[in-house]
Chains A and B, each alone.
Chain A
Amino acid sequence: MTEPVIKTDHLSIEYRIGKHWRNAIRDVSLQINALQIHGLVGESGSGKSTLGLAMMRYLSSNARITEGEIMFGGQDLVPLTETELSEIWGSQISLVPQNALASLNPSLTIAQQMIETTQLHLKLSNRESMQRAVEALTSVRIADPERVLRRYPHQLSGGMQQRVMIALALSTRPRLLVLDEPTTALDVTTQAVILDLVRDLIKEEQAAALYVSHDLGTVAQLCDYVTVLYAGEVMESAPVRDLFKEPLHPYTSGLLASLPSAAAGNESRLSTIDGVAPSLTERPHACVFANRCPVAVDRCYTEKPPLENVGGQGTVRCWRWQEIASGELIAENSPTGVFEEASPKAEYVLDSNNLDKQFGEYNVLDRLMGKQPQFVHAVDDVSLKVRERSTLGLVGESGSGKTTLARVIVALNTADDGDIELLGLKISLKLRERQRDELRNLRMIFQNPHDALNPFRTVGQTLSRTFRVLSADSPSRDEIKARVVRLLESIGLTAEYYSRYPARLSGGEKQRVAIARAFAADPALIIADEPTSSLDVSVQAVILNLLKDLRAREGASYLVISHDLEVIRYLSDWIAVMYLGQIVEQGSNEQVSQPPMHPYTEALLSAMPSPDPTRTDTSIRLDGDVPSPRNKPTGCPFHTRCPRFIGSICVEEEPPVRAAKDEHTIRCHHTLEDLVEMQSTPVPEL
């Protein structure tokens, strides 16, 4: 094997919290070889970003390296000074950060920033560095580099900004690229393009990369070698195929099993990892994972397991890995049973027709000055129906109008047009005009659990209020309290939580309380807007199980909104795909996942990173980004990016809604037969 590009040896890092130094990273040894993309996976708080940045020897001011060395090109980075490091940073090790917009200087053009970098590190002349900038942008597949160079960062889309960041990082031909969650803020279709790009560029530039991410799917697709980090320690590290096929550490297998795609079917529960990750101040001294491990034995609580070499290239830190490797022990919290059948009924809970919502930037001053208002058509003539006791999944990228649609249905925004029927009765589009019973029957779970609960109210106060305001039978104070406690138990929280403030709850617990609030007054339909997107995978599994349990038990229906097709497919009976304010396809779960399908659905499915490194069908990639709804394309809104573009008909005419069997509809100019035929054969290379 060749000399590694970078190598850490027993690296430990501490953070100062108050007056104490707390161990954040403990005894981490890893190495990255040339041409290799090394994945660093972990949940939030595992220290993966700290470690990623520490590989560059970049530490925040309250952190220090206590032990170990970082060997880069035969040199230990640990004792170097800022000045010495700044010669390495940018020229030999580059960083692609999570938030591209925040990392680009908003007051300089792209050209100025790129020239600055190459001049500083490579001492190039103006002409040469300009040329290098154009080359770098071309290498990240930017079609018109000269034009992009003249732009300011905010004039570029998110995907474009991230490409510029990568170009900037690569423009000095570094030997190591550190990618810190580079695609977390991007849409799936854009993410797929960026990941392809990173993979190709690392090969082209003969570089190596450290890819830090919480997303097992993208890691499986991109990386060659993976290290799993938990509570600042390496749990397992192995070549990507081995790790995903035969995980040796209980934490790794737990993580993999908690993915919705790992479920045996929509009826079976997801396996979960109990408990929460220890905070920086309360890490166990023995095995850090022991208290959440389903197969922990006494020894795990008293002695720290060493990082052992397993045959091949992997290492694992577990006392029982040999039993796991031989297959004697299944290290999973094996899912217990299936969900009660929630048989959908024929009646509709929600029947909404021709909903329309436009947003205008139009204030009093503009009106006085007689300015023309600018309208954004967020929801364009959408009809949705949810059957009783069923789940409708609404999927789409950012800007597709799915959240607006949800808000219009619950009337947080008032629709401009259309009508909504709840349980067969027409209800007002205005929140103020809705009756208490209508409010009670139509509840919502919000995206961000951290601001869903009033920080100045205890859990009990929050939930009691809902009962008091919405309960049909105006219960007494004691009765309310009893109901709250019962509700807490039904979401798996003890009565102790009654008097806790939200600040003392973890993200998953907050979301559970928010779900409890939605269920409090016996609703008919619950709208959940991205209920798990800000949670870790292991917590997501808990929430998804809970949602399914509650549906069966309470007989409610859901409208679930997500950008994550995996989550949608796991939860839903019926799926609607939304693009730029329109529903482009809807049908049952199976119908939507197989031909004939809308080209956009096809692209979404293909872009979805799956935690299976052997999957290779990366056939469909969408060019560009979702167009701004402000300048919506004419004709079919998807024509600017459509892989099945026909010709002028797509640009000029709105596509018809074609009905396949059983209410499955597709909005496309292609006939259904054409779509089936095209989607059964691989796409031609463009």
Chain B
Amino acid sequence: MLIVFVFIGVAIVGPQLAPYPFDQIIRGTDVGLEDRRAQTSHPPSETFLMGTDQRGRDIYSRMLWGARETIGLPLIATLLAVTAGTFIGLLTGYLGGWVDEVISRILDSLLSIPALVLALVMISTIVPVLSSLQSPLVASLGANNISLTSVIVLLYVPIVTRVIRSATLNVRSSGYIEAARLHGESTLHIMFREIFPSVLPALVVEASLRLSYAIFLVASLGFLGLGVQPPSPEWGRMVLDARPHMTSEPWEMWFPVLGIAILIISVNLMSDGLRRVFRHEQER
């Protein structure tokens, strides 16, 4: 839990902490040396905490900058997916009938497409379309970021929906829901005021689990060269860049890989912890 907050904190203030801009090629003069050449492929040292890469960029700075994309983008995408999934899940779970049938079948068919394939197809189709729009909104957010976000949303909405739907089904036939119906309460009131509190535990746990998968997906796509585009220092991308010379300058790969691994493990631990907290609550 704590580690996750450290990561999120880094994502927010990281750029301010970074000693160098992420794309600055460090020259010897920058660190008080006579040498004017780029300080390429430095192993970790006092000057360069995590060393520098092939082009002479400070990996420590890049890690700090990159945290924003690596954590922020999945976080936003997951929030969107969870919000949409919760709404659809409550709706289908509570209403049942043909609404449920139709929506569930559509979501099922989405689930049947392998995640990476869907991501590849979507990115390769959305990015050109978005770029050709020339809209300022797209330009400010980046066509790639938008397409990545929509891939994650599209992938996770069905999963979140399923979880929320089944949690809803558990309480749907309880006396208090029926009592509310007999009050003539509106569907929205029942969905959000009566049912929502009881699916909240499932929701929070699911959201944190989804987050860890989303981080993984963004990093994987980055590694495949499809994610956040260079020169942005997303960690998955950094691994890709480091791959060709992993034998000569292994540190270039270590740090982003370690970062991704620790991040995902800690998000997972957080989701386990949340689950335990909720179970404990229920037992009381």
Chain A residues packing against B (C-beta within 8 Å): 363-365, 410, 412, 431, 434, 436, 439, 442-444, 446-449, 451-456, 462, 465-466, 469-470, 503, 514, 517
Contact = CB atoms under 8 A, between A and B. Distances in A.
Nearest to A465: B183
A444 B184 contact: no
Contact of B184 (A436, A447, A448, A455): A436
A5 B194 CA distance: 55
Q: Categorize the interface residue count of chain B.
A: 10 to 19
B2 interface: no
Contacts of A465: 183
Interface in B162-200: 171, 174-176, 178-179, 181-185, 194, 197-198
B46 interface: no
B183 A466 contact: yes
Nearest to A439: B184
A29 B90 CA distance: 54
Contacts of B101: 363-365
A439 B183 CA distance: 6
Interface of B: 98, 101-102, 105, 171, 174-176, 178-179, 181-185, 194, 197-198, 284
Contacts of A469: 183-185
Nearest to A363: B101
A517 B179 contact: yes
14 contacts: A364-B105, A410-B182, A412-B181, A431-B184, A439-B182, A439-B183, A443-B182, A444-B179, A447-B175, A451-B174, A451-B176, A455-B198, A456-B197, A514-B179
Given A439-B183, A443-B182, A456-B198, 19 more contacts: A363-B101, A412-B178, A431-B182, A442-B182, A444-B178, A444-B179, A447-B175, A448-B175, A451-B175, A452-B174, A453-B175, A454-B176, A454-B197, A455-B198, A462-B176, A469-B184, A503-B284, A514-B175, A517-B179
A450 to B, nearest CB: 8
Contacts, number: 58
B179 A452 contact: yes
Contacts of A452: 174-176, 179
Contacts of B284: 503
Contacts of A455: 198
Nearest 6 Cβ contacts at the A-B interface: A452-B175, A446-B175, A456-B197, A451-B174, A364-B101, A454-B176
A153 B261 CA distance: 49
Contacts of B179: 444, 446, 452, 514, 517
A78 to B, nearest CB: 31
Contacts of B198: 454-456
Given A364-B101, A364-B102, A453 B176 contact: yes
Contacts of A466: 183
B248 to A, nearest CB: 58
A161 to B, nearest CB: 25
A409 B229 CA distance: 63
B19 to A, nearest CB: 49
A447 B284 CA distance: 24
A449 B176 CA distance: 9
Contacts of B171: 451
Given A364-B102, A444-B178, A446-B179, A454 B184 contact: no
A364 B103 CA distance: 12
Contacts of A517: 179
Nearest to B178: A412
A53 to B, nearest CB: 23
Contacts of B183: 439, 465-466, 469-470
Nearest to B101: A364
A454 B182 contact: no
